[in-house]
């Protein structure tokens, strides 16, 4: 595990680069993480997906997969790829402060 400063907070990251503790997350952290991976600025639609993922994580105990996001959040696959290009499930989990979704390589 590594620790680094993000949006003025010391945050731990696992070996794959995802936040180790989802409770360290806040909107400022999300904005900073999004900037790091070229998703700037976050739109209202980005926030809808992020909030769905955080809510789903709280109820399911795991980061949602791409399929779960598209079916449960009502975001078409094409749109999720536009919002979070090249690996949307990983990118949305990263920005949402969650672990890597199961099933992602």
Catalytically annotated residues = 104
- DSSP reduced 3-state for 77: helix
What letter does residue 22 receive in the DSSP assignment?
A: G
* Separation of alpha carbons 32 and 61, rounded Å: 24
Q: What are phi and psi of 46, to 5 degrees?
A: -55, -45
E-assigned strands of the chain?
Answer: 2-6, 9-13
Judge contact between 1 and 14, C-beta under 8 A: yes
């Amino acid at each position: 595990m590594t620790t680094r400063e993000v949006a003025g907070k010391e945050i731990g990251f696992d070996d794959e680069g995802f936040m180790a503790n989802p409770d360290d997350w806040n909107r400022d952290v999300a904005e900073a993480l999004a900037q790091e991976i070229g998703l700037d600025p976050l739109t209202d639609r980005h926030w809808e997906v992020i909030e769905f993922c955080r809510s789903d994580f709280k109820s399911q105990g795991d980061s949602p997969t791409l399929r779960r996001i598209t079916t449960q959040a009502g975001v078409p696959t094409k749109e999720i790829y536009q919002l979070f290009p090249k690996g949307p499930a990983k990118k949305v989990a990263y920005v949402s402060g969650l672990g890597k979704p199961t099933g992602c390589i």
